[in-house]
Amino acid sequence: MPPHPTIALDAMGGDIGPAVVVAAAEIARVRYPELHFQFFGDEKAIASELDHWPKLQTVTTVIHTDEVVLGTDKPSQALRRSRTSSMGLALNAVKEGAASAAVSAGNTGALMAMAVFALRTLPGIDRPALASLLPTLRAESVMLDLGANTQCTATHLVEFAVMGAAIARTMLGQRRPRVALLNIGVEEMKGTEPLRDAAAQLRASPDLPLEFIGFVEGDQISSGDIDVIVTDGFSGNIALKTAEGTAKLIAGLLKNAFQSSLWTKIGYIFAQAGMQALRDHLDPNNHNGAVFLGLNGIVVKSHGGANAVGFASAIGMARDLVMDNLAERIAQDIALVQAIPAAEALSVGGR
């Protein structure tokens, strides 16, 4: 680990661009004085934001490019600008060792395609996955895959379990994270064949650095009883978005409830501090940062609508994963997966 790990920042991604990304880097600089930063994007726009933060300038380089991957670009279009766009250049800096991690708030599909193209998957990893932290009643949990892989085999799910556990050790500080497969029931015979096969393989692998819990249903995702929830990208995306929608629904109802009468409005004035704590706990900016797992390098995706605090959380996630040598640890753990017997050799329930 270099004494001053460098984080490559795509300054042009997200809804706002350089203003948010530069302000976020300043927050991260104060939190993590060891970090250096590389900004990729419009030099003028970045420089005018850096003018506000003289100390940040001393640990920063700016690499100019006019080209930007748009939110509407298809992955195939974005790939054509791998070597010229701000997103592509940030990923390239990781590939060439100039930076230890890249962070972008740009187009997810494009970032995924370009990250795989630039960094390639780790040996033994079939498919990279997108993982994120979610708020729970206790603290946070890790969920993956969140949309990178629509359909998954048992092998993919087992790889996701191992990679998710590696993240949970770093981000949640759990030595032996509790890992579960998302399913429509907890009984062994429930769900699809890849799920049942993956469960059989994980049950047969006590040497993996995780505790396999079995199946959980959607209502357990936010319970805090599970550290890592493993699912295919289709179900993961549905679950994540449904949770967001439900939170928005209840926030709307709560607002109506507080505005329904003079009494409830007075109630809000008294309860304000508690409500703020609730909002903070659920604020996506405080859980921001999804990581592409299984690549030769660390790539973190920030929410496109994140503010500076949110983007700084994503930088913090990248920094923690760099300090913990995530990519190397995943490579080691995946080597253990190779030793798991194939599903056909195990007695799989429900067949």
Residues that bind a copy of itself (CB under 8 A): 135-137, 147, 150-151, 182, 184, 191-192, 217-223, 231, 233-235, 237-250, 252-254, 256-261, 263-264, 266-275, 277-278, 281-282
| Smallest separation, CB 123 to a copy of itself (Å) | 29
- Closest separation in Å from C-beta 140 to a copy of itself: 12
**DSSP codes joined into one string, 106-118:** S-HHHHHHHHHHH
Q: How far is the CB of 266 from a copy of itself (least distance, A)?
A: 5
CA neighbor of 142 nearest in space, from 9, 289, 34, 260: 289
Query: By C-beta, is 229 or 343 nearer to a copy of itself?
Result: 229
Query: SS3 of 240, please?
Result: helix
Closest to a copy of itself by CB, 31 vs 74, is 74
Nearer to a copy of itself by Cβ, of 20 and 181: the residue is 181
Which of 73/333 has CB closer to a copy of itself?
Answer: 73
User: CA 29 to CA 15: how far, in whole Å?
Assistant: 22
Phi-psi region of 198 (alpha: psi -120 to 50; beta: other; left: phi over 0): alpha
How far is Cα 220 from Cα 224, in angstroms, rounded to an integer? 8
Show the tokens assigned to 227: 């550290």
Least separation, in Å, of the C-beta of 163 and a copy of itself?
20
Cβ nearer to a copy of itself, comparing 1 with 184: 184
Phi, psi of 12 (to 5 degrees): -105, -5
Cβ 221 vs Cβ 138: under 8 Å: no
CB 140 within 8 A of CB 320: no
DSSP for 168-184, please give it.
Answer: HHHHT--SS-EEEEE-S
Provide the minimum distance between the beta carbon of 78 and a copy of itself in the complex, in angstroms, as a whole number.
Answer: 15
Nearer to a copy of itself, 30 or 249 (CB): 249
Q: How far is the CB of 287 from a copy of itself (least distance, A)?
A: 13
